[in-house]
Structure 1
Amino acid sequence: MCSVRFAFAISFLLWLTAANAAGVKNFDIPAGAAGPAIRLLVWTPCAEPPQEMDARGAIFFAVPGCPVTGEKLPLIVISHGRRGWFGGHHDTAAALADAGFVVAALNHPGDTWRDTSRTDSLSVLVERPADISRLIDYMLDDWPDASRINAQRIGLYGFSFGGYTGLAVIGGNPDLRKGLPNCATSSLLACKQLENGDAPGQPITPDPRVKAAIIVDPYPAFVFAEKNLKRIATPVQLWSSDPAQNADGLSGCCAVAIKEGLVAPDYHFVANARHFSFLATCTPKEAQVNPAACTDAPGFDRVDFHRSFHADIVAFFRKHFAESASP
């Protein structure tokens, strides 16, 4: 155990030396007719030296409340995975902020590590995409520095259930009905609800404001019909972990199926990566509390992978935002 902790400590220290400076601050979207209150964390470009911050056992390398630098900044919204939280991809958010993006991550109501009251339910599958639209509305209209955002350059990053969320937001039109193929063998509560005759309480409406999307290990994938995926016009960079690491039942399970439906996605297969290898590098404390999410395959270096991963996603967003601005 000591050697494992030492290895994580060394990896974490290496991450700190390469970490990006970013401002960070909490905000709240109030409850209203559109839905319950939403807690969010926003990273922004920052000119001050970074600080080490402890957040629920995770260490962020950022500046609390740093004044935002820059104008007409692109916005990236982050959707976390099942039972995740808005800080699960904090190193990715910091890397994007350091590259000149405003990054807003939310806690999806009813499906976080703290509140699992609606995890896997039909209501969560329906409301997650609506959460993203509410987040974009807030960032463009009510966020204190809303005037600094370029509303024509909005991107999305979605991991796992957040990948499902992202595909729904950009027009994937998930098929949520009784008799859905593969639902009968799924453990999702939503599948049981559909088979019992429940129906979505509201339509899932795409958000055309999202101009580019990073989709990582999307789950569940079986709700997306190929014909619906082919209608997606938004540029997608699709990432897959390695099915050879599928002991968790998630690694490499779903991105290939989505890839076959999308039209020319920018597809990346990461050999030897596990599903949770896309989460931020763990501290020793996090590794002790949640070893499944913090333990990578032998020989896989999460710190090193995230350096190249971040470079690729920054390049993807810059490329497509530049193209969307072309006459």
Structure 2
Amino acid sequence: MPTTLIFAIGRNWRPYLFSVLIPVLFLCTGRAQAGVGLGEIAATASDGTITLFYPSQAVEQQLRRGRFVLNLAERAEPVRGNGRLIVISHGSGGGPWVHVNLARALVEAGFVVAMPQHHADNFMDDSNPGPDSWALRPAEMSRAIDAVGRDARFASLLTLDKVGIYGMSAGGHTALSMAGGRWSPDGFRQHCETSLEEDFQACVGLITRLTGGMLDGIKKWAAMLVIRHRFSDATPREHHDPRVAAVVAGVPAAADFDLSSLEHPVMPVALITAGQDRWLIPRFHSGLVLQACKSCVRLAELPAAGHGALLSPLPPGLTGLLGDMLNDPPGFDRSQMAEVDQKIARFFEQQLLQK
């Protein structure tokens, strides 16, 4: 503001100056300090609820969602950020609240974040995880992009020609599918045929575990009986959405992919790996993708992290097999995950905001 104008306003220049500069500063940067808005798009006959996080000037309030206490501005009016959308695919039995810290980092960078609830593989209904869910998820992500684009609150704030995808665990499988990865249920069967004992939890989930006891043989026999019956279809599954321009896959399920389909992805792809992951052992999953892919980058390597490191916040009080798979291993420093969230945000900024 010119000095002459400030003096011309006289004693009342301060409120006038702040009233002009504060909105200008907010609009000029996607990293302006503002509240994180929380909204949703209601479920339809074919799709679950889509949870939305977005830039807002509203004041955040303390909210309780299940076991989580969060600070968000519920049903706040959205404001324009950087004009880009990130869609997050949650893991098996997951939901939006375990990715709030990442959502905050993305919103503070100016992004709108959408998290669709995947059919029959979410925290409210985990009745059908695994390959059956993986086959549905990519189309659910595309329909989530459509739904946000139709929403009157966001239609004028977003340009959907360059959308980012993030996914963790089963959501990482979704992300790799959105990047052009091709897989089949029979590929899952083949992996479990050859590596059932070494990668047991990836093949059977949380139904049971191997203990080294006399029942292990029966468990392996029963697991393969079910897997061979359910997952014999060799028809390739693939999904293409030209709006997707960058992908981040965190500790992804990946053993069933035709790795040649991920050798030269048509978009930037980044991976996050956890060295102590006992649910999706890296050498069968993320490690294979990094070996095959010529252009993929490892955005973060966490040698002391377990499978649940990317759940942020981590659900409190996890016990039993679920706790063993998701709780942090001894010696893991969870404070570093804030920097991982920032790396994800910067990756999407570099890939989606460049002209």
Q: 2:282 aligns with which of 252, 267, 287?
A: 252
The answer as to whether partners of 1:287 and 1:295 remain within 8 angstroms in 2 is no
CA positional deviation for 1:87 = 2.0
CA positional deviation for 1:118 = 1.2
Residue in structure 2 matched with residue 92 of structure 1 by the alignment: 102
CA positional deviation for 1:73 = 1.4
Relative distance call for 1:20 and 1:297 in structure 2 (3 A) is farther
Relative distance call for 1:311 and 1:26 in structure 2 (3 A) is same
Where 2:162 maps in the other structure, the secondary structure is strand
Residue in structure 1 matched with residue 143 of structure 2 by the alignment: 134
Relative distance call for 1:101 and 1:71 in structure 2 (3 A) is closer
The answer as to whether partners of 1:76 and 1:154 remain within 8 angstroms in 2 is yes
CA positional deviation for 1:126 = 1.0
The answer as to whether partners of 2:184 and 2:234 remain within 8 angstroms in 1 is no
2:342 matches 1:311: yes
Residue in structure 1 matched with residue 38 of structure 2 by the alignment: 24
In the TM superposition, what are the counterparts of 1:246-285 in structure 2 within 5 Å?
A: 246=277, 248-250=278-280, 252=282, 254-267=285-298, 268-282=300-314
Q: In the TM superposition, what whole-angstrom CA distance separates every residue of 1:275-316 from its partner, at most 9, and x where no partner exists?
A: 101101247xx23567446632233222x2122112111110
CA positional deviation for 1:181 = 3.0
CA positional deviation for 1:237 = 1.4
Uncovered stretches (5+) of structure 1, i.e. residues with no partner: 1-18
Residue in structure 2 matched with residue 222 of structure 1 by the alignment: 255
Relative distance call for 1:191 and 1:50 in structure 2 (3 A) is farther
2:86 matches 1:76: yes
Residue in structure 1 matched with residue 240 of structure 2 by the alignment: 206
Q: 1:295 aligns with which of 315, 327, 330?
A: 327
Relative distance call for 1:143 and 1:231 in structure 2 (3 A) is farther
2:183 matches 1:174: yes
State how many pairs are aligned: 294
Q: In the TM superposition, what whole-angstrom CA distance separates every residue of 1:74-98 from its partner, at most 9, and x where no partner exists?
A: 1000001111112221111121112
CA RMSD of aligned residues (A): 2.8
Uncovered stretches (5+) of structure 2, i.e. residues with no partner: 1-32, 197-202, 206-222
CA distance in 1 between counterparts of 2:350 and 2:306 reads 28
Q: 1:187 aligns with which of 196, 204, 213?
A: 204
Residue in structure 2 matched with residue 115 of structure 1 by the alignment: 125
Q: Which has the larger radius of gyration?
A: 2
CA positional deviation for 1:210 = 0.9
Where 2:309 maps in the other structure, the secondary structure is helix
The answer as to whether partners of 2:90 and 2:96 remain within 8 angstroms in 1 is yes
CA distance in 2 between counterparts of 1:191 and 1:132 reads 32
The answer as to whether partners of 1:241 and 1:273 remain within 8 angstroms in 2 is yes
CA distance in 2 between counterparts of 1:205 and 1:271 reads 32
Q: In the TM superposition, what whole-angstrom CA distance separates every residue of 1:132-176 from its partner, at most 9, and x where no partner exists?
A: 111111111235322211112310110000000111112111133
Relative distance call for 1:152 and 1:197 in structure 2 (3 A) is closer
- Structure 2 residue identity aligned to 1:152: D
CA positional deviation for 1:194 = 5.9
Give TM-score, length-normalised by structure 2: 0.75
